[in-house]
Chains A and B, each alone.
Chain A
């Protein structure tokens, strides 16, 4: 099993805080890897404009590093900032790590007046193109390319990776940080297989193994959407389903839970929008997850969410106070991130709940599937 931790706060904080929570939960995972995703970025040595997409990844060789630089230039991107981690390289287990990079770019001229959708598509295509280049020689790994998002994935004990990249010294801070502490050991070891998974600003990380993985993957692949690739981990589909729900179907966030764990027919018969939801369940039947999973996600507007599979076979808990909230697999994880909260107000979602921390972080929204569903217009 793996452990998950997320912290979201109005004030930026160091990702090291979240690594401390991972350390608190260390008995629960094998520490074979670390995945981090940060949003709401603040660099110590650069005044970052959150409109600039940041490319996160690892160049395994110098040649790949040069290839990357020239590719981005050719595609019309202007490099605004190239973050250099203060490194403690001897703490990294892997050998072929030429450079961990975070590079902020200005979008090419031709996108200046383009709409959001086109810009988002371009960013995804750039990421996929670089990933493909990297896969040819196995010398370049690209995690994300998106404004205000930084991702790091590495093999090894999470705290040690944090030390290696000197995450404690305040070089990078963020308002949202998600962390997962295990390489995907269910399938082959692969940097891409480490959570969180990212697609067009949407990210999820998951606890547990997804038993319905193969049919879901086949269905998503059949959609032929360029970003629905990879699947080195059975958990990657959770990010893609969330993306599909929000971006392709353009449904509200509440629909996610109705798609992955629909209510039963008897429950839907009593539901005020039962007819619509039954139809939605039928058309999205192949996306029903069977658990055991706790899914934690974040969206571009810094909304955070937590949902469980129908049987609630993986733990997760949310706690905090106005302005700062934390979600973790275990209470000790939340304790480590927000020691000064009232723990009696901590909440463990039931099978019908979606816990949402809205961008204003004032209070938790606990939304139940039995609540009226905000229908798309006129439906």
Chain B
């Protein structure tokens, strides 16, 4: 036996089978072009020199021996910093199909070493819980059969918009119309909203590609899509452009980007779609936003009014927040005043068992234009693992409870509830969104789905990729490094935005038509929902079907 010291094994030593992703490389196909190693965001693979024994057998002289050959091939690194994330970029660029990353099927020992230098693991992306979600399992089963005709999704006219903004009760509306009172502003929007992803979390090409696509949806396709900025402001020229009307500006506890916004107010050509005040988010509830230093480029620093290359963690709460009654009310009112009471202002909170009390406060706040509830399956640009994985509340029961609470007060038309968190996680975006709408949401916000569908984000629930936090996004979606984000063509992103919303629109019609609905979005039409799960049916007050 060899002495221990002669082998270089440390406590943190790993081998290929310990890694979550294993690189399979075929020397017989590799031409050593070097494309894979140069594209790899993790420097997980490298050229290495190896020696091969070539057996030599001289039959006539009956002598055996060996020849040796030196060759160069691709090998995987086993250090934590360089462990493969399975993004697949190497195979995407390999001209010879010589390389592929496959999921390691053994236990994943890297899990125990993610806390390098005493810092728990942070990542971007998602919660990494695989399989069908509760939303995926909801069926639309009040089918119009004989007693009323099902509609033709292709030929009937459909009204697919929802209202964003505080709606008065009919009595108060008429009273104010007659006596000249304030009618709160509302917007008629497509119920699938591009959820808050900041300029900063997203690369400039991604963000502008989305905006371009949104403008196309509105101006050419007639689908009134809006997008939310996230906490990070908005490029100054966009603030002064007519595209601002498609944008929901988010203000969060770091107030990043708001210097620019306030400065731009007098020069704005139109009002923004709405203002979202972020008090919490689904992916890391109770925690503030986080933009890690890797991504604080010159441009981002300028937009946010901060020095370059520093971590930008937003505080978990707004500094002025002492009580919901006072501060939330004041903040909503102040922002409403800043935009002359012509822009809906609504808060975004993490789904939580306390959501109902927030809602009941908003009901009494005449300036609150809605409530956005973000569930545990929401995505993020950066968060601690533990926040992503284990903290939070699923969105469905939270929305349902809040809706039923409003309905009991007869207020369900007055405060629209928007839902987010895991919608379209397995690709069923229209189905998931419509299920939430029938449970009571007025609309849904989608983020990860948009990144995947419009820019080809590689992340998945098996923790593929998910390095959005460190600025090495191999697709250029969440990187601030021009070398990376130039990979992403904004025009192509815009095209995909148009594709995506056209197809969501068709699917929404395909869901509504058999239910006999076309004239208004079936908000709260829970009699059309069923699930083959007794407990879920009971909790959501929908039908148990089997």
Contacts and interface: CB of A to CB of B under 8 A. Distances in A.
Contact of A209 (B147, B169, B173): B147
B410 interface: yes
A276 B156 CA distance: 27
Interface in B493-546: 515-520, 522-527
B177 A379 contact: yes
B250 interface: no
Given A209-B147, A219-B410, A219-B412, A279 B523 contact: no
Interface string A275-313: 010011011111011111000000000000000011101
B517 A211 contact: yes
B115 interface: no
A353 B429 CA distance: 38
Nearest to B414: A283
B177 A279 contact: yes
B159 interface: yes
Nearest to A245: B170
A279 B173 contact: yes
Given A282-B186, A376-B178, A218 B516 contact: no
Given A213-B527, A214-B524, A285-B520, A219 B178 contact: no
A276 B183 CA distance: 11
Nearest to A288: B520
B527 A283 contact: no
B304 to A, nearest CB: 36
Given A280-B173, A282-B167, A378-B178, A290 B518 contact: yes
Contacts of A311: 151, 156, 518-519
A200 interface: no
Interface in B173-190: 173-174, 177-179, 183, 186, 188
B525 A215 contact: yes
Nearest to A222: B410
Contact of B516 (A211, A219, A248, A264): A211
Contact of B170 (A214, A264, A283, A377): A283
A245 to B, nearest CB: 9
Residue with the highest number of chain A CB atoms closer than 10 Å, among B159, B410, B519, B522? B519
B186 A215 contact: no
A329 interface: no
A219 B411 CA distance: 8
A290 B163 CA distance: 18
Interface residues of A, number: 43
Contacts of B523: 215, 286
A186 B146 CA distance: 11
A289 B522 CA distance: 11
A218 B170 contact: no
A274 to B, nearest CB: 13
A249 B168 CA distance: 13
B525 A214 contact: yes
A141 interface: no
Contacts of B170: 244, 248-249, 280, 283-284
Nearest to A378: B178
A309 B516 CA distance: 12
A320 interface: no
B407 interface: yes
A208 B413 contact: no
B144 interface: yes
Chain A binding surface, main DSSP class: loop
B524 A218 contact: yes
B178 A379 contact: yes
Interface string B453-491: 000000000000000000000000000000000000000
Interface residues of B, number: 43
A354 interface: no
A261 B250 CA distance: 35
B28 interface: no
A316 B36 CA distance: 71
B148 interface: yes
Given A248-B171, A282-B167, A264 B520 contact: no
B95 interface: no
Contact of B144 (A211, A222, A284): A211
Contacts of A376: 174, 177-178
A47 interface: no
A212 B517 contact: yes
Given A186-B147, A209-B147, A285-B520, A214 B526 contact: yes
Contacts of A289: 519
Contacts of B242: none
A365 interface: no
Given A224-B410, A292-B149, A283 B518 contact: no
Interface in A205-228: 208-209, 211-215, 218-219, 221-224
A285 B408 CA distance: 17
Nearest to B161: A265
B409 interface: yes
Contacts of A378: 178-179
B205 to A, nearest CB: 33
Contacts of B186: 282
Interface in B314-333: none
Nearest to B516: A211
A156 to B, nearest CB: 21
Contacts of A288: 519-520
A285 B188 contact: no
B348 to A, nearest CB: 22
Given A214-B527, A376-B178, A279 B519 contact: no
A219 B149 contact: no
Contacts of B177: 276, 279, 376, 379
Contact of A223 (B159, B161, B174, B410): B410
A222 B412 contact: yes
A265 B173 CA distance: 19
A276 B523 CA distance: 23
A310 B149 contact: no
A211 B515 contact: yes
A282 B174 CA distance: 12
B163 to A, nearest CB: 6
A265 B188 CA distance: 9
Residue with the highest number of chain A CB atoms closer than 10 Å, among B144, B149, B168, B523? B149
Residue with the highest number of chain B CB atoms closer than 10 Å, among A248, A264, A290? A290
B163 A285 contact: yes
Interface string B217-260: 00000000000000000000000000000000000000000000
Interface in A33-64: none
Contacts of A218: 407, 412, 524
Nearest to A310: B519
Contacts of A219: 407, 410, 412-413
Nearest to A276: B177
Contacts of B178: 376-379
A261 B519 contact: yes
12 contacts: A1-B147, A211-B515, A211-B517, A212-B522, A214-B526, A221-B410, A222-B410, A276-B177, A279-B173, A289-B519, A310-B519, A313-B149
Given A211-B144, A284-B170, A285-B163, 8 more contacts: A209-B147, A221-B407, A249-B174, A265-B161, A279-B173, A291-B148, A309-B519, A376-B178
Q: Which 10 A-B pairs have the closest CB atoms?
A: A222-B410, A211-B516, A209-B148, A379-B177, A214-B527, A288-B520, A283-B173, A215-B524, A283-B170, A286-B413
Interface of B: 142, 144, 147-149, 151, 156-157, 159, 161, 163, 167-171, 173-174, 177-179, 183, 186, 188, 407-413, 515-520, 522-527
Interface of A: 1, 186, 208-209, 211-215, 218-219, 221-224, 244, 248-249, 251, 261, 264-265, 276, 279-280, 282-286, 288-292, 309-311, 313, 376-379
